[in-house]
């Protein structure tokens, strides 16, 4: 269910609760690792990755067959949850790399 922007503080993009399996792709030839996509927006997602080490940049498959994939950069981590931003093809072509360290400030949990 989409949440209204006024309920999300200063968020720029409406997030949609998803609660479905996804697959983290740590490198092009690496095995896919199952994760859980908690919510998603036009710009990024919140993933439950357990205690998995997550690289700064990685692929995310939204489907088991890999039909829908996104390139992601790690923005923050809080325990088993990570926040990612989707990287556009334009950013990738321009060589825009993830900037800074992941944010460690508190974040509202999904209840």
Residue ranges of domains in the chain: 15-91
Q: Give residue-wise pLDDT tens across range 38-86.
A: 999 999 999 999 999 999 999 999 999 999 999 999 999 999 999 999 9
What is the model's pLDDT at position 56? 94
Integer Cα distance of 8 and 14 in angstroms = 8
Return the SS3 of 72.
Answer: strand
Q: Is the pLDDT of residue 10 over 70?
A: no
Q: 97, exposed or middle or buried, with CB in 10 Å at 0-12, 13-18, 19+? A: exposed
Q: Is the pLDDT of residue 110 over 70?
A: no
The whole-number average pLDDT for the span 33-42 is 96
What is the model's pLDDT at position 89? 86
- The reported pTM is 0.74
Integer Cα distance of 50 and 54 in angstroms = 10
Indicate the CATH number for domain 15-91. 2.40.10.430
């Amino acid at each position: 269910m989409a949440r209204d922007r006024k309920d999300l503080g200063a968020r720029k993009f409406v997030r949609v609760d998803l609660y479905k399996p996804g697959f983290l792709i740590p490198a092009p030839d690496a095995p896919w690792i199952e994760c859980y996509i908690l919510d998603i927006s036009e710009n990024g997602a919140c993933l439950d990755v357990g205690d998995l080490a997550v690289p700064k940049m990685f692929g995310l498959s939204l489907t088991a067959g890999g039909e829908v994939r996104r390139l992601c950069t790690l923005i923050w981590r809080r325990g088993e949850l990570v926040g990612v931003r989707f990287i556009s093809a334009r950013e990738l072509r321009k060589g825009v790399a993830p900037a800074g360290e992941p944010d460690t400030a508190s974040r509202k949990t999904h209840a």
